[in-house]
Amino acid sequence: MRPSKIEDVIGQQHLLGDGKPISRMLRNGRVSSMILFGPPGIGKTSIASAIAGSISLLFRKLNAVSAGKKDLEEVVKEAKELQSSICLYVDEIHRFNKTQIEYLLPFVESGEIILIGATTESVMHSLPSAIISRCTIYELKPLSPVDINIGLNRALNDAENGLGEYNVVFEDGALDHIAHACGGDMRSALNALENIVFTQADRGAFEKTVITLTMCEEALNKKSMGYNGEDTLYNLMSAFQKSCRGSDVNAALHYLARMLETGDLVTVCRRLLVIAWEDVGLADPNVGNIVLSAIESAERLGLPEARIPLSVATCVICLTPKSNTAYTALDRAWEDVRKGNTGDVPDHLKDAHYAGASKIGRGIGYKYPHDFGGWVNQQYLPDILKHVEYYIPKSRGKEKVYGELYSKIMELRQKKSSKDPNDLGKGLNAE
């Protein structure tokens, strides 16, 4: 079922959509070396083979786990004999050792080898800078359930490469369950579909076989929480976030367990990260880093072990003071922008690094805060907004400190009669 043309690749529209980087590259007929990174089963190999197919490049594939320097030498030799570039796809490229990487570099630089590397690891931490500097880095995203559904239906209708010879029909919600349970992994979803069809139907049978939601649940060993009446995945996500916001640890853990039972780790992780910044926010900004660390651990561990760091993150969120002041302040500022309440940037704040800037008043009168003890009383907002206050602090958790500092700044701004702004800065710094 692997696509041979870039138009047939499912998902990754931020790279493959009209006007996006890879589609523009192919339209111009010039492909450069690249590194594709992201979770398993989301299309890295498919994109590489489709790129090669779309521009008629000779395509060779290696796996860095098993390939050695000799395999690389054979590909380079072939490129030289043909006097043509070869598209070399290297899966798990982070497994290449220094010798293999150094051998490839000159041929990548000369264009004899168009390298497309794939990895599930963090590129900046797992690959040497020499290869990163010669490749464009593209991050692939987990596929959505809608994307997965497209792939499943494509497989069911394809008699040559898929399961089209099987006379099956899926009841409402059954395919959706597979699409949600695979966690954005197309390979996992297609393997599950194949297993279900093979065990429930006979090839070429005249009588239609109905595949039920229960059959899919049993095959995947995961209960459906996404499409059975009131118990929808969206309701679970809503209940989970509201329980975290309300600091009810027991309820939050209950809904976390129900979401994890679906196997949709991607949705759970995304929701946790949103909650950390939306609901905890300035009350303890460190919680965002704690949750991100837990998510990275969960993604590396996979289920069922992923539940361990996610449970810790959930408890931390629940038991931390809450504040939404930062993003609500931004929303108020954004509303002004959308209404056209913007005004001109004050002249003393405008860019003044170029010759002649001072002749037109740019940067004149700007006071460098570090010269005044860390703070100086000067106008930053445009004239029409200079008295606006978007941020309204709360005295919760660590935001109490931020709120006190904010109040002190606002108080000092009222002291316009002060003759020495330096004293104001020192006073604020001392506070």
User: What is the number of structural domains in the chain?
Assistant: 4
CATH number, position 388: 1.10.3710.10
pLDDT at 229: 39
Which ranges of the chain have pLDDT less than 70? 222-232, 416-431
Same domain, yes or no, for 69 and 181?
no
CB atoms within 10 A of CB 83: 7
C-alpha dihedral over 31, 37, 41, 46, to 10 degrees?
Answer: 0
Cα–Cα distances in angstroms (integers) from residue 45 to residues 117, 136, 181, in the given order? 9, 16, 22
Q: What is the extent of the structural domain holding 368? A: 343-430
Looking at 86, 121, 139, the residue that finishes a domain is: 139
Residue 199: half-sphere exposure toward Cβ, Cα within 13 Å: 12
Length of the chain equals 431
Whether 325 is in a domain gets the answer no
Residue 153, amino acid: N
CB 79 within 8 A of CB 107: yes
* Residue 326 located in a structural domain: no
Does 247 share its domain with 314? yes
User: Residue 369: is the preceding peptide bond cis (ω within 30°)?
Assistant: no
Boundary (domain end) residue, out of 189, 220, 251: 220
Select from 384, 378, 391 the least CA-distant residue to 342: 384
Q: In this predicted structure, what is the pLDDT of residue 430?
A: 46
Give exposure, 118-135, as e/b (b: 16+ Cβ within 10 Å). bbbeebeeebeeebeebb
Examine residue 225 and state whether it is found in any structural domain, yes or no. Answer: no
Same domain, 13 and 65: yes
Does 53 lie in the same domain as 104?
Answer: yes
Q: Are residues 134 and 16 in the same domain?
A: yes
Can you give the pLDDT at residue 222? 65
Per residue in 376-410, pLDDT (tens digit) is 999 999 999 999 999 999 998 998 998 999 998 88
210 and 267 together in one domain? no
Percent of the chain that is helix, strand, coil (3-state, to 5): 55, 10, 40
pLDDT at 256: 94
Asked if the structure places residue 37 within a domain, the reply is yes
Whether 329 maps to a domain, the answer reads no
Return d(Cα 72, Cα 89) in angstroms, integer.
11
Residue 395 lies in a domain: yes
